[in-house]
Amino acid sequence: MKTVLLAVALGFALLATAVLVIQRLYHRGLEAAKLARAQGTFRGRREWLEARFHTLSAQSGKPRGLRWVDCDFDDDVVFAREPVSGEIHAFVGVSIRFEAIEGGDMEDVEAVGNLRAATSVFCFDGANWRTEGRAIFNLSPKQAVLHFDLLPAPVEHTAHGQS
């Protein structure tokens, strides 16, 4: 009798383990599909997203005393996922040119016209990409992923316009 109960318990344990493994594989498959969809959607909306980033950044009033003149986006994109929420982010390097606002504190600063390196941030909500015009200055896209403890996506770089 003990042998039968032990065999049944072992069978249930193996079945439970198999179910967990299957669930984990299924979840990974869903996450991979979500990432692929996000990357494809980003490529299709990239020009619009970059323009939106520039518009929102320029309207932000940051940095104080400077006007956003131009943004030159790098080709590469670094995708990453937030460990808790699973939200997907895209990070793109950008060179930004400012000019001083007339009468402002920065008007006499010689370095105002120098190009500034930054990383632009985009977020995927599961259906659409959005940007709040957030620029992370002095960090490359890879450094931003590390700095914010995000999980790099399996496909880290996607060149602009490539499939």
What is the spatial distance between Cα 46 and Cα 59, in angstroms, rounded to a whole number?
20
> Residue 156 and residue 135: Cα distance in Å, rounded?
19
Provide the residue range defining the domain that includes 140: 2-158
Structural domain contains residue 17 = yes
Amino acid at 44: G
Mean of per-residue pLDDT scores for the chain: 81
Q: Return the H-helix or E-strand segment holding 151.
A: strand 151-158
Residue with tokens 């997907």: 88
What would the mean pLDDT of 28-34 be, rounded to a whole number? 65
Residue 163 lies in a domain: no
pLDDT at position 10 = 67
Which of the 8 DSSP states describes residue 101?
Answer: P
Instruction: Report residue 158's pLDDT band, with 50, 70 and 90 as the boundaries.
Output: very low
Tokens linked to 114? 């120098």
Q: What is the mean pLDDT of residues 40-63?
A: 92
What value does the mean pLDDT take over residues 31-37? 79
Q: Number of structural domains, the chain?
A: 1
Give domain status of residue 92, yes or no. yes
Q: Is residue 63 part of a domain?
A: yes
Whether 124 and 41 have beta carbons less than 8 Å apart is answered as yes
Per-residue pLDDT tens for 52-86? 999 999 998 888 888 889 999 999 999 999 888 88
Once rounded to an integer, what is the mean pLDDT over residues 21-31? 52
